[in-house]
Amino acid sequence: MAILEFVLQVLLGITSVLLTLLILLHKGRGGGLSDMFGGGMTSAVGSSGLAERNLNRFTIVLALVWFISIVALGLITKLEVI
């Protein structure tokens, strides 16, 4: 159980950092990492719907992995107490 808990904690840490970065890369209303690196090209790059859809898909999948790892860690912690 200790190895599984360690693996889930590492997975949670990695997914937390990646999820934060992916959320910051989303096209916003001005002001975010996407505007910081894109600058004046937001109109040309922003019109590409494929990149935004893929970013949305990656974010959703990573959020699901993050959520499942939190639930699994909670269940392991609860079972260890009992």
Quick one: pLDDT at residue 19?
96
Mean pLDDT by groups of 10 residues along the chain of 82 residues: 93 97 81 61 59 92 97 93 76
Q: Which amino acid is at 58?
A: F
Its pTM stands at: 0.74
3-state class (DSSP) for residue 32 = coil
**What interhelical angle do 49-81 and 2-25 show, nearest 10?**
150
Quick one: pLDDT at residue 56?
92
Quick one: pLDDT at residue 48?
65
CA angle 55, 26, 32 (to 5 degrees): 150
